[in-house]
A and B are shown apart, each in its own frame.
Chain A
Amino acid sequence: MRVTVKSSKDFFAGVVFVAFGALFALGSLSYRMGTAARMGPGYFPLVLGCLLSALGLAILVRGLAFSARSGPIERFRLKPMLFVLVPIAAFTLLLRPAGLVLSVAVLVLGSSRGSHDFRLRESIVNTAALLLLTVAIFVWGLGMQIPLWPGFVGR
């Protein structure tokens, strides 16, 4: 007998919840449990982890059993996600060693590439404008302690 996954949205949501629940429940085992009257740090997360897994299981089963309740999942697209999250990571890692100017340029130019109609010149102007705005608000206005340029410049 073949089990068909009728509602893949529910099915996979269930899988995600079961996985998270199991991770937290397993993790909590390494902390002191205590008793119901004197709960240790592991008690509450263990209970909740099990509860989450149980809920996930119910959602998963519902995804198997009921047809077309929530429909199939739309395709996952890696590209837009990478165009948002990679520049963020690059910005963060560059911020202290390379300074605000370079990291802002990397973030704005990098993420702009993710748009459907990317225009290089426009993005460069946008970068300059945003840089000015950021420096004005955060460095001059709020006095944020952050280098503007890489350490080897301007010392």
Chain B
Amino acid sequence: MDFLQHLELGFVTALSLRNVLYCFLGCFLGTAIGVLPGLGPVPTIAMLLPLTYALSPVTALIMLAGIFYGAQYGGSTTSILVNLPGESSSVVTCIDGYQMARRGRAGAALTIAAVGSFFAGTFSTAIVAGFAPTLAEVAFKFGPAEYFSLMVVGLLGAVTLAHGSQLKAIAMIVLGVLLGLVGTDVNSGAERFALGVPELGDGINFVVVAMGLFAFGEIIHNLETTAEAREVFTENVKLGLLTRQEARESAPAVLRGTLLGSLLGILPGGGAVLASFAAYALEKRVAKHPERFGTGAIAGVAGPESANNAAAQTSFIPMLCLGLPGNATMALMAGAMTIHSIQPGPQVMTSNPELFWGLVCSMWVGNVMLLVLNLPLIGIWVKFLTIPYRLLFPAILLFCAIGTYSLANSTVDVLLTIPFGVLGYVFAKLECEPAPLLLGFVLGPMLEENLTRAMLLSRGRVSIFFTRPLSLGLLVIAAGLMGLMLLPVVRNKRAEVFVEG
């Protein structure tokens, strides 16, 4: 089948009434929850996951993807109207977006965020459609040694590009991999680290980890900090037209943001957060009047918003083609696929073409929906913003608890979220990012399986990883990434990108 046939298959799947409906529902719910301050895409997806259990795999994934970019988009609305990011990828949008709102240009800021996101979404969906088959073909040449090396590159890359201490992040990955080993070992059938709890024989569900570490950890942290008085712009917020000057300034920023975001999304550990920070730094660098950044420069909204949406889209590429999630959100999507008994990886494209292409095309459909949804509904989202946190967090807790219970109608699963909640709080205090842990957790069993198989093939010689050219190449990249971090120039630059703003 050639490219156009693929796209046709995809659009036929994505545009079926049922899938359009669920895509809409996903975008709607995702935006509604994403708008709420302090609730990012990971807990949002984890919370809404139970709604998709009963659906067919294609529809479920389409809805989940809708939830994902809805949540992403909702976060930017919050950033602009309340000086409080709805999620970490819109932290930088706060800076200039909020200042624009204070100067009465909230409408323009929201418009450019919507239009920029739509443009970026369209472009990056095309990238996914064009790039994915080629990458999947390469992936078919991979043996266990290559897969193992690839995962090492992916995990180390995630550490290099994420912010915070690398050593701690690596330790978090290893801890995640170890936690992922809990349960029955596929090779020997031995039950490991189950502590005599029969429910642990099937391993810890990734939703349990995500809920505990991300959702509960976040809520505990929010309850601890006293709510400061914030100014919320809820009066008469409408999407407004840009002035000619604003349009001229933002158009190239959208373009730059889209390109940068598409590229950074593909990299392991990349994704929306890194893309938006990098795009902000880039806009500030190329601007004629960099001093205007921080006081409401529209390029400071247009660039990062386009970039984070583009990256959100292209971060599907490694997950769909290689079965390698590059960030926590994708780890969750990969987990959702396995719930519907689809193993993410290159075989999905050939064994389930309508799922793969349907999902890709639904990304574009979802972006159209976001644009359409947000024009008339912005008033409703703004209402959501005025719900006080004291009413919100018990609701979040309730839906997390019921959602976890409904995974397997198991109370043990819900109780297991509690130690992970404690762990999430402790790690937040110790400045250990939870995302690498989730990544390691999802990849852990695959890592062990491929290592075991590679070592079996080589009769116990580690040299197999260095003598096979593809594997060697990947390991050289991994070493390069590590080496890069030791260079003071890179180290400072990296800190700068994340600190900037």
Contact = CB atoms under 8 A, between A and B. Distances in A.
Interface of A: 9-10, 12-13, 16-17, 20-21, 24, 27-28, 31-32, 35-41, 44-45, 48-49, 51-52, 55-56, 58-59, 62, 70, 73-74, 76-77, 80-81, 83-85, 87-89, 91-93, 95-96, 104, 107-108, 111-112, 114-119, 122-123, 126-127, 130, 134, 137-138, 142, 144-145
Could you say which of B170, B185, B398, B399 has the most chain A C-beta atoms within 10 Å of its C-beta? B398
Interface stretch (B62-70, B79-87, B353-361, B421-429): B421-429
B394 interface: yes
A44 B421 contact: no
Contacts of A36: 455, 460-462
B178 A20 contact: yes
A114 B221 CA distance: 12
B451 A87 contact: no
Interface stretch (B222-230, B340-348, B364-372): B222-230
Contact of B223 (A41, A73, A114): A114
A116 B227 contact: yes
Majority DSSP secondary structure for residues of A touching B = helix
Contacts of B409: 144-145
B422 A81 contact: yes
A49 B221 CA distance: 29
Contacts of B393: 111, 114-115
B162 to A, nearest CB: 16
A50 to B, nearest CB: 10
A95 B414 CA distance: 11
Interface residues of B, number: 66
Interface in B418-436: 418, 421-422, 425-427, 429-432
Contact of A31 (B192, B219, B417, B456): B192
Contacts, number: 186
Contacts of B50: 138, 142
Contact of B219 (A45, A84, A104, A137): A84
Given A51-B174, A85-B216, A40 B414 contact: no
B414 to A, nearest CB: 4
A13 B394 contact: no
A88 B51 CA distance: 20
B59 to A, nearest CB: 15
B187 to A, nearest CB: 7
Given A20-B175, A32-B190, A126-B391, A111 B429 contact: no
